[in-house]
Chains A and B, each alone.
Chain A
């Protein structure tokens, strides 16, 4: 796995581009040429030496906004994914191990939440909650944890009936031991692939919310918010709104390429256990 020559080109490309995004997001304040709120030029100025990507709807440097947008987008999406995974996986594993009415109740409740489209449910809830970053992360994380719950429960149910788990139970290990020491290590690789897909979903979800004006609030803005700010320019032939959208797409494709590769590796593992 750690032999770099055995990683397919597409996955390698995905890893490199994703890494560039993360590095840029971390070091934004040192990289960005201007301040993200400073008006430094004309409205929607074209590309020039001073402004590599032109300026936005208020005359702020678009490259700077894009870099800061990466920071906000990745930060919120990462925290929401972390919440969704912690919540979804722990509930899913517990449901699989405990079983009985607990599993039944939780599974039916998750079915109920999933019968409302995620975006619609988020809109309904956001209509009464205060609009801030914490609310966004909580709403996105909790709604998405339903998907993680389904997957981790399905994986854990399979593992739970294996002999080594049976052995641990007979040894008298508690539920927590079973979940963390027996099931978690064996469920990790399918969950890691899922992690990539959920992260992308979070970025698309956050962008959609911000684009609809219900996500990150100005003057700060993530990529979805930037599309909203600059969308009126499109009619005049100013492509400023397309850049943040393209930034999202490139990141999404890269992460997908990596997740695809991990997923393929996982299915390899299931067939023959040789290459772990």
Chain B
């Protein structure tokens, strides 16, 4: 029993590692082998040929692409992320600091949105087609239609400017006291929560409703158990796997949604870092950030699959 499970998990992890390698090739190819010259597009059309040639040499563009790729990959694997073009400083320490900030923000947004959406989803099933249920489907439609920045600026306009409860700029720095740091991320974390909450609720609701239509729930009903007991004791344990899946997928979405939210609240995280350097056409930074975002995304998707395998014995024996 134990070993086939370990084998399945190992297979899934192995697949993700292979996928990550393929993604690194794709990201590298996307920034290097595109039509046009990277050096030319960094410097703009007005650049002198000498300047372009100099930049080409310093970027190592005169080497063949596969050598540059291997060099980049080797650097990543040994912890050398290279130097930024814009200021010549090593990317590693800055990126690490930014990544910590982003994960801090995403963690607290997840800590609020996951329990909240699960509870609200349960309530929606309990009062199916009732007022709360209708509210949930209406807000879902609303939040998938609103751009992230609309939610963010509405919060700033009403909560920060009109009410004056929090500052609109979420500055955090090293050695900042914990409470102060928490105070700074209240608004961005709220915005992120609002972005993913409705989707999570809706999928939780769908997962539990799916289970509620099965035979053993009907038996429990006929036994005369209370409705809440049926949901909590019989439906919920069986719905855990799909819910975990939903949660993981939404966490993956959260990590991406963080890009826009960070720019709105001027939060010094990875997203802001990436966007700034795309505008500066700083290719090494963009490659590293892109790969890390993709790695987090792939990692969370992998965890979703692994949790699904662990919590649902039926998935352990494919055919």
Contacts and interface: CB of A to CB of B under 8 A. Distances in A.
B171 interface: no
A253 interface: yes
A129 B22 CA distance: 22
Given A124-B27, A212-B263, A227 B149 contact: yes
Interface stretch (A20-28, A52-60, A169-177, A241-249): A241-249
Given A120-B294, A211-B149, A234-B156, A253 B26 contact: no
Interface string A246-260: 101100110011001
A127 B147 contact: no
Contacts of A224: 147, 149
A237 interface: yes
Contacts of B157: 234, 237, 239, 242
Contacts of A239: 157
Contacts of B147: 204, 207-208, 211, 224, 245, 248-249, 252
Interface residues of A, number: 43
Nearest to A123: B278
B145 A249 contact: yes
B111 interface: no
A116 B26 CA distance: 9
Given A115-B294, A123-B275, A125-B31, A253 B283 contact: no
Contacts of A204: 147
B41 interface: yes
B153 A234 contact: yes
Contact of A112 (B22, B154, B162, B259): B22
B141 interface: yes
A13 interface: no
B275 A128 contact: no
> Main SS of the interface on chain A?
helix
Interface stretch (B46-54, B285-293, B305-313): B285-293
Contact of A237 (B162, B263, B297): B162
A116 B297 contact: yes
Given A117-B256, A241-B153, A127 B298 contact: no
A235 B161 contact: yes
B175 interface: no
A117 B279 contact: no
Contact of A249 (B31, B146, B290, B293): B146
A129 B41 contact: yes
Contacts of B274: 120, 123
A51 interface: no
Given A130-B41, A239-B157, A208 B148 contact: yes
B149 A235 contact: no
Interface in A144-172: none
A214 B294 CA distance: 20
A248 B30 contact: no
Nearest to A126: B278
A269 interface: no
A242 B31 contact: no
B256 A253 contact: no
B153 A115 contact: no
A208 B260 contact: yes
A237 B141 contact: no
B281 interface: yes
B150 interface: yes
B260 A125 contact: no
B248 interface: no
Given A127-B283, A214-B275, A115 B19 contact: yes
A127 B282 contact: yes
B38 interface: yes
A213 interface: yes
B290 A123 contact: yes
B34 interface: yes
B290 A128 contact: no
Contacts of B293: 116-117, 120
A102 interface: no
Nearest to B38: A128
B144 interface: yes
B281 to A, nearest CB: 6
A129 B34 contact: yes
Interface of A: 112-113, 115-117, 119-121, 123-130, 200, 204, 207-208, 211-214, 224, 227, 231, 234-237, 239, 241-242, 245-246, 248-249, 252-253, 256-257, 260
In the A-B complex, list the 6 residue pairs whose CB atoms are closest, starting with the nearest.
A252-B145, A245-B150, A124-B290, A117-B256, A127-B286, A127-B278
